Amino acid sequence: MTIPPHREALVSRLEQELTAFALVRDISAQDAAGACVLHNWTIIHKPNVHIEICGVTSAYSGEKPSLLVTGRVVHIDIAEKVVVTTTGLYRLGSRPSSDSCSEKRASVDAELSRVKEILAEYREDLMTVRRYLSEMMSVDYETEIANDTRPLRRALH
């Protein structure tokens, strides 16, 4: 069975997403200690579950701190305050002093929990689509669709 170009593009996009989310792994204490620290950070939530973090990196050996936007966030360890992105590991450091009170600390944990939930839901959706496409590619749908009278099903294929 030949794959129509638009379907091939969808499969390619799904493979890209699955590859990005394959970066999820357990974070060791050694990984967390070696991660770049981001201070005064904020979460940037773009459409289509594209989440990044913007912050100021710590100064190393006389270098000036610099503003950084991470790659796409694929996992968050809330307890360790470490994020796994497509560009590496980052440890979330301090925020402005107005955020340091205990109420704001709880809101930081809630904010990170919400992002973690969004990522988990998206990862689950990706796996569902992957299963659907695997089934679709393994069945002779051209014959089946030609005999199907349901317009929506025909339109999807």
Q: Encode pLDDT of 84-121 as tens digits.
A: 998 889 999 988 655 444 455 568 889 999 999 999 89
Q: What is the pLDDT of residue 102?
A: 46
In 3-state terms the chain splits into helix, strand, coil percentages (rounded to 5) of: 50, 25, 30
What tokens appear for 152 in the block? 């929506």
Q: What is the pLDDT of residue 154?
A: 45
pTM: 0.69
Q: What pLDDT score does 59 carry? A: 59
- The list of the chain residues with pLDDT below 70 reads 1-5, 23, 25, 59-63, 96-106, 136-157
Residue ranges per structural domain of the chain: 5-156
